[in-house]
Structure 1
Amino acid sequence: MSFTRALTRRLNGFYSVAPLTVITIAAVVAVGLALLTTLLALSQPWMGIDFDRSYDGAGLRVLKVQDYSSAKGKLASGDIINAVITPAHEQVTLSALTLEEDPDRLSTYAQYNDFFAHQQKVFEAINTPNVTIILLDGRTVQFNATPFPTLRALSLDFWWLIFFGGASLLLGVSAWSMRPHDAVTRVLAISGVGFMVGAYSCAIYASRELMLPAQLFITLAAANHLGIMLFAYAAVLFFWYYPHQFGNIPAAWVYVLGVLTLWLNETLQIFSWPIHAFYAHFLMAYTLLFGLAILQWRKSRGMLVERAALKWLMVTILVSLGATVVLFYVPVILTGSPIASNVLTFGSVFLFYLGLVIGNIRYHQFDMDQWWLRAWQWLMFLLIAMIADALFIYFLHVTQSVSIVLSIGVGIFYLLTRQWFWARLSGSNSQVLSKSLPQWEDTRSLQQQGISSEVQWDQQIMRIFNPIKLSKLSEPCTQTTFGADANILNVPSLDGLHTIEVFCCEKGKRLFTATDVGLADRFLELMRRSHEAAVSHERGVQEERQRILRDLHDDVAARLLTLLHQTREPEVSNTARNALRGLRDVIDRMGTEEMTLAEVMLDIESASREQLNGIGVLFEWRAENTWPERILNSTIHINLRRIVRESIANALKHAHPETVILKVELIAQELCLCLCHDGKLVEPTQWIAGRGLNNIKTRVAEMGASHKWGIVEGASNKQYCTLTLCVPIS
């Protein structure tokens, strides 16, 4: 029990490491292992001969002899090497099998073992001071084999596999570093580790010139088997957990024990699969993967967002791994030779990780948002710095081993120094913010007019901690606490009814501390005081507004109404009626902040009918019977009503129309009104703008709208004057 508790404490401590630190460690590991892989590849015997891998006749055909090879001048393009002589004077015949890129393609354990025995004999023949080869024409040639002279002697396939393996490790570990307790991200991390092990080990033997010592070759092949199994069955486990876990069985333990069983079986050669000793179970894994994907699809029925993300993942995983099955495993099982090379196969699998990046940006999978881009910007700088320094040292003609060590060392030191310097210059921390608390003014939040206090609180949290994201949880919260780990801080909302989950402080550069907890609580207290002050201020404004409205209604409106009933002069009566109507608009505007679109349309229609009632003008209202649930503020409401009223008044005064038509429709995010009338029409370009037209222009500008006057031809060649008004609404 004490051992278990100690292990648990160590794991929890590792989970508390900042994400950027984890990614940095992963990058160092990937680069370090890539360096060791490169040194191991460079240490193997090298003859400087390129062989024609498409040749399937007897022996091996020379394609090219490198300029710095000791065989230069002794062998030429087109020569066919039939055999090599071992130090024990044994003649070892060479064939296309000697150049086999991957021994896993051999279908039985017997062929597999014979291949390594053959490789060992060829290695013994080549790894001698004087290599003796026999050509197909009977000639004997001797030359010296040396270690690989330069990095350029390694094939392009080698570097592609190193890239695929290192990048996959970083992507998988990056996902896990942000959500270390999430089973899905753990699976991604394990798959990344496995893929790197498989790619790095394959890089050595797939890009070999001719042979490797048998024991090293067997070890690399076993490592490749384990890595690819870890990746392949992690993909199966991925669909067990994502997006909904199937059952409560210990799937992770089944995965671990299953992979170890398969790997030990292949390594110890206990049981041979009936179709192919090495690849048959991968077809079974892909079938299982496909089945789980279908079940997850059915389980997410009715969940549109999850289905969209799952669709992307299914396409990415099933296509990338499906291409591997179709282009590599199936052709090897059926014919003994794949359609795609090892590099293309690893590249197609790497699309799985690229799909995770793109899918996360598009669908916010695993709740990690844009951290991929930020983390990879940092890592790309590491890569660029290393390449630049490596090239710089290389062109100074430093020796090979010194060049590799110094280029990598300078690149890492340069980046770490830059990060340290940048953090000291631009990284504000909790201590600095804590010292600035006395200078905080309670009225600061009130300076942001039109923004709610809850939104201001969210903005303050973003400024204080600079997190990757904020999430609103429904659980009530009374004080700031840590979340599942030190990457998460749970902060109360202003009303305490919700929890604000703050994810990754300083974009993942550091963990939250007890100082951050106290800092958040102090800022919360200040924000609540500011909120209370804002509420009190708004309450006072509303009370004063109601007092003014009562005075206008009880005093000014009553006086105008009395004047309207007592006067016998039509001009005075009209002026009083218009003044009373305008006062009613002011009272409505001050008393009602918002109305629905349907209510505004009903008000405009009734006001227009009232204005034209009893004067012999036909009014047509053309609009929808039902309106969507849109809210309009009082400014738009009053301005629309007054523009329509003023336009109708101008038509009655100048055109004496018989018909007035008001057409209203909602197009996308714009409310469009078209007022038409007949009568005595004059081109709008000839109008002399008075107070009415100028008022219309002012009200249009106040709403941020657009308007246009014109004359159009209607039915029976009848002309109409039109005012088209388009108002943007949200």
Structure 2
Amino acid sequence: MALGLSGFDGSSDAMPQALVTAGERTLITPADLIEEPDVLPERVAQIAFFSRQSDLALAMQAPGAQVETRDATGTVRLSDVRERTLGDLPFVFWFQVLIGVVSVLIGAWVVGLRPADWGARLFALLGLFLPAFAMPAAIYSTRPLAMDGALFETLSILNHFGACAFGAALVCLFLVYPRQLVPPPVFAAVFALTGILFVLDVLHILPVTIHHATVAMQMLAAIVAAMIQWWLSRRRPVDRAGLRWFLTTTLVGAGLFIALRAMPPVLGMGDSFVISQGYAFGLFLTVHLGLAAGLARYRLFELNAFAYRVWFWFAGILLVVAIDLGLVVWLNTQAWTSLPVAIVVAGLLYFPLRQHVLERIFTPKRAAFTRSSEIVDLVFTREAERRDEKWDTLLASLFDPLESERDTTSPVTAPRASSDGSTLLVPSFAGLDARRLRLADRGRRLFGPDDIRAIDTLLDLGRIVEEGRAAYKLGVVAERDRISRDLHDHLGAQLLSALHTVDAGEKDELLRRTLSELRTIVSEEGAGDQSFADVMADLRPEIADRLSLVGITLDYRVTGDDALLPPAAASALRATLRELVSNVIKHADASVVSVCAQVKDGRVTLDVTDDGRGFEQEALDGPGRGMSNLKTRAAALGGSIVFAPAGALDDIAGVAARLRFPLEQPIAGSLP
């Protein structure tokens, strides 16, 4: 597709040197290749530039016209002039077009979010005026060599119109955002004044061009309006955060523009470091995005830390440059300095000192979190009202919110800030209701990620303390139950035997054994792992004595393998056998009790049977602690205990009880 403009073939780094037509060679000067005619200081120079462009464009249309180019290696070549097509347009052209399209879309997005807001409407105008000056510049700044002077001047006028209109819209935007300072008729006056200045410049009524002065005055007016808005928003953190988006992105855009476009020539680095005007327009898009984020209140709660970091980095760069330039100027004015002395001063003294100072200034200082004692005190407070008071006091000391209220309706499971940072939602915790905090530091700032992390840390610490407290309570209950079971099963059996003993010496021995057992129960001390055979052998005389006192015969057998029993298993085995024998003595009215214990296939089995009167099923489910203790002990060992009437358990005559539990450490070998 032809564009009606003349072009030529050549590498992207080849610079035009001359235009050759009908044997005549017209030299191409650097002034012919400037991107923006506004850099010319006077109107006369601009008129001459446009006239020269017309002459070159006309010459390029002559039959057989060629362009002489020279590349970076010094190679000279001639390229035929031909019609320019879309494929010839460089990337920077499309980049500027893209900036214009994106700015329009962003403006439409913001005004779609807040159609009745004057700030959003004026921002939409900014989105329209940005392509009005970017797209004409995209055409003339990417010309291959020359274009018709009249067309060039028309595009330049359109560029001026877009820039002036953009500046007027920016001034009006800061007169209305975030708080409207003037009535809408003032906006019309600003645009009318801008239009008058634009017409004066275009018609050349004044002896000098005033385009740059107009844009500069607009920028100054916008800055003044922004400063007024900043002052008025000192008690409105949401408004100030929106302004901060603009100021931060403006700082980034301006800083990059200065670093990439203005600083290299000042520092003597040459023009090779200067980005083209087309890419420099991308910096306007940075500012545009900042304005959009502020107007849309986009994620303001995350802005503070980012904005302050950008400001510190920018200030740090300026500080380093200023100090370095100061050192260079000072050394240059000293008669005693030389290159070796300068190297020593800079390398051994100045650079280490500068690094130390910058680290002290810009390294963030992280305050230690010192609220653990308050959280522990809160969790261990029993009264609900006092817990609420302490939680509110702790949150107030951390954030000093303008408002704090309980929230019993929102399903808050994790702390989060509202999109504009004005509200912090704190989830329920330790039986406390959720909290809704508004505007930190008495309304002077918004909530941010650091505040969310602080609440997360508080809640995590509180949950750990609460879990520890709950585990402690469970441990107390479990220990109380253990002591209760042991007192019932061990001491109950011993005291029952002492009660039935007539002999005073034997009674004293039973009581001494009971006291020793009591000390073991309270301290839960054991002798380590014990042999199954030894445990059963120790129990045999005790069980035989107890039964003989009430006239009951004992049949006691231990068979199978031997095994090591952990202290808990040995204690449970003793307690179970003692409790079963106690039940026989108290309830069975039996004459014979059989005890059969064995280890086989890694399991311990204890059978206790009697020939008494049996039992009713209700007795197993009654309120007594004996049966419950037996089942609890068996379950704790990973086993079970069952009860059966006469003949129901492996054809054993009489009432039977069977305890079974697995072993962890079997011993090779069999019992005799």
Q: Same fold (TM over 0.5)?
A: no
Q: Shorter-chain TM-score category?
A: 0.3 to 0.5
User: Radius of gyration: which is bigger?
Assistant: 2
